[in-house]
Amino acid sequence: MPTPIRILHAASEVAPLVKTGGLADVAAALPAALRRHGHDARVVLPGYRAAIAAAQKHGLSWGESPLIIEAGGIDHRVGVGTTTIDGVPTYLLGCDELYARDGVYGPSASNDYDDNARRFSVFSKAALALPGFLKWTPHIVHAHDWQSGLIPALLERGFNRALPATRSVFTIHNIAYQGAFWHFDLKLTGLDWALFNPMHLEHYGKLNLLKAGVVFADRVTTVSRRHAEEIQTAEYGYGMQAVMAGHSYKLSGITNGIDTAAWDPATDRLAPAHYDAKDLTGKRECKRLLRDECGLHQDPNTCVVGVVSRLVEQKGIDLVLDAIDPYILSGRLQLVVLGAGDLALEHRLHAMQARHPGRIFVWYGYNEGLAHRIFAGCDAFLMPSRFEPCGLTQMYALRYGTLPIVRYTGGLADTVRDVVDGQGNGFTFGPIDLGHFSSVIDRALGLYQHFPEQWRAAQSRAMAADHSWTRVAQEYVALYRSLAFVD
């Protein structure tokens, strides 16, 4: 029986306590899956006001004495709140002057708090002090994104002498956000000025906390294999490409999983009918009801294509708008879009819907139920992202036998294989231009209309793939074992 591994995950957001993006899902699902494999995984996050309120519903209790964490000559009293969520011991670090605010990273999505360097320096130091408080020594500290980027640096520099054998893993969920601060903030970190150079903490004159994580961690991962290659290039590296290439010897990609219980066409309580890979009768019923709900004509030969997405440039929605008219007019395609975001894109979608009554339906806003009904009721799913570190929706589509049409990038390239070789589960295209995009749509519609048995076979392959966190956790366990002194 191999020794269970002790892992402390440090993340700035953990679902369901606080969530602004996919990091929160990973920081919740991965520790839970590791525990199901018999490992002692725990998670620590800042005690934002809303996170503490949410944790109280899960029986949050506070430790008696606070941690005293120094940053730039000021001592902060950091309380340790403990709760258990989905079987995972979860620690909230409470410090009113830093975290008792309405926002997570700033007062609004487009504004950061001025003292974020302090907020996340204290978080990183307190996360490393937590094992002493708990009298529990992790083999691995797994830090996520720039907010925890100091942790590998502090650990390697011996900040916590009680953790001499603890190794670090640093995962990049979104390389576009790097935690870049003016150089004087180095004082908050407690690290030596000698490290303020381009080989270590400095990036173009600034203190860069993502770089701290990359340089000092024992292993670096990102959320898909393909993206681990991409972030070493200027196109996807957001200025960090040379740093990533320089540390490629310890860089790998592990594709995220999805919640296979919530997203299961055989049991989905948000879908109107159920089905599985052997019998797709329920999917036909879902399609009929989706068309009714969206006011689309019940035309048996038309392929119903779905989009569920933030409406932003990253997701290539502009390309859908540019390309779709001829397919709608020819009666080969109907489109259902669910999304919110960029107002200019919303206006264009609105105009498109007005041009094609009964053939296009757009719903603006966030709608969990409709998202499930779209994955269940559509034939194909469109996701022409410019970049996509991992992406979840293409995996939902696969699981529902809704063939994804995606750009060959990041996690999309890892999960969708083109049917062109007879073994695929969807359709992919490369260069992001109208010609390539139109030609992939042509191929998809051609297969749908003229080779239904091949379409059906691709659906079976799509539905057979394993995207569970159970499988993903095994990849992380192999990574941890390659680092830590455990058998």
Which residue of 2, 3, 20, 21 would you call a contact of ligand ADP, by CB under 6 A?
21
In terms of Cα–Cα distance, which of 469, 411, 430, 485 is closest to 172? Answer: 411
Query: Among the candidate windows 2-10, 88-96, 349-357, 386-394, which touches ligand ADP by CB under 6 A?
Result: 386-394
Measured from the CB of residue 144, what is the shortest distance to ligand ADP in angstroms? 14
Can residue 391 be called a binding residue for ligand ADP (CB under 6 A)? yes
Residues 299-358 that bind ligand ADP (CB under 6 A): 308-310, 338-340
Can residue 213 be called a binding residue for ligand ADP (CB under 6 A)? no
Pick the closer one to ligand ADP by CB: 338 or 479.
Answer: 338
Can residue 176 be called a binding residue for ligand ADP (CB under 6 A)? no
Which residue of 305, 324, 337, 371 would you call a contact of ligand ADP, by CB under 6 A?
371
Can residue 27 be called a binding residue for ligand ADP (CB under 6 A)? no
Strand partners, 258: 468
Pick the closer one to ligand ADP by CB: 218 or 379.
Answer: 379
Pick the closer one to ligand ADP by CB: 202 or 293.
Answer: 293
Measured from the CB of residue 461, what is the shortest distance to ligand ADP in angstroms? 21
Give the chain as a 3 state SS string. Answer: CCCCCEEEEECCCCCCCCCCCHHHHHHHHHHHHHHHCCCEEEEEEECCHHHHHHHHCCCCEECCCCEEEEECCEEEEEEEEEEEECCEEEEEEECHHHHCCCCCCCCECCECCCCHHHHHHHHHHHHHHHHHHHCCCCCEEEEECHHHCHHHHHHHCCCCCCCCCCEEEEEECCCCCCCEECHHHHHHHCCCHHHCCCCCCEECCEEEHHHHHHHHCCEEEECCHHHHHHCCCCCCCCCCHHHHHHCHHHEEECCCCECCCCCCCCCCCCCCCCCCCCCCHHHHHHHHHHHHHHCCCCCCCCEEEEEEEEECHHHCHHHHHHHCHHHHHCCCEEEEEEEEECHHHHHHHHHHHHHCCCCEEEEECCCHHHHHHHHHHCCEEEECCCCCCCCCHHHHHHHCCCEEEEECCHHHHHHCCEHHHCCCCEEEECCCCHHHHHHHHHHHHHHHHHCHHHHHHHHHHHHHCCCEHHHHHHHHHHHHHHHCCCC
Tell me whether strands 251-253 and 380-383 are parallel, antiparallel or unpaired. unpaired
Which residue of 143, 317, 352, 392 would you call a contact of ligand ADP, by CB under 6 A?
392
Pick the closer one to ligand ADP by CB: 184 or 366.
Answer: 366
Pick the closer one to ligand ADP by CB: 47 or 339.
Answer: 339
Strand partners, 208: 180
Residue window 419-458: x/- pattern of binding to ligand ADP, with contact defined by CB under 6 A: ----------------------------------------
Measured from the CB of residue 355, what is the shortest distance to ligand ADP in angstroms? 22
Pick the closer one to ligand ADP by CB: 193 or 366.
Answer: 366
Query: Among the candidate windows 235-243, 329-337, 385-393, 472-480, which touches ligand ADP by CB under 6 A?
Result: 385-393
Pick the closer one to ligand ADP by CB: 290 or 308.
Answer: 308
Can residue 410 be called a binding residue for ligand ADP (CB under 6 A)? no
Which residue of 97, 192, 235, 368 would you call a contact of ligand ADP, by CB under 6 A?
368
* Interatomic CA distance for residues 148 and 137, integer angstroms: 18
Can residue 97 be called a binding residue for ligand ADP (CB under 6 A)? no
Which residue of 148, 168, 302, 393 would you call a contact of ligand ADP, by CB under 6 A?
393
Pick the closer one to ligand ADP by CB: 178 or 393.
Answer: 393
Lookup: tokens for 234: 């200027």
Which residue of 70, 366, 451, 464 would you call a contact of ligand ADP, by CB under 6 A?
366
Pick the closer one to ligand ADP by CB: 367 or 438.
Answer: 367
Measured from the CB of residue 221, what is the shortest distance to ligand ADP in angstroms? 16
Measured from the CB of residue 392, what is the shortest distance to ligand ADP in angstroms? 4
The size of the interface with ligand ADP (CB under 6 A), counted in residues, is: 15
Q: Which residues of this protein are in contact with ligand ADP, per CB under 6 A? A: 21-22, 308-310, 338-340, 366-368, 371, 391-393
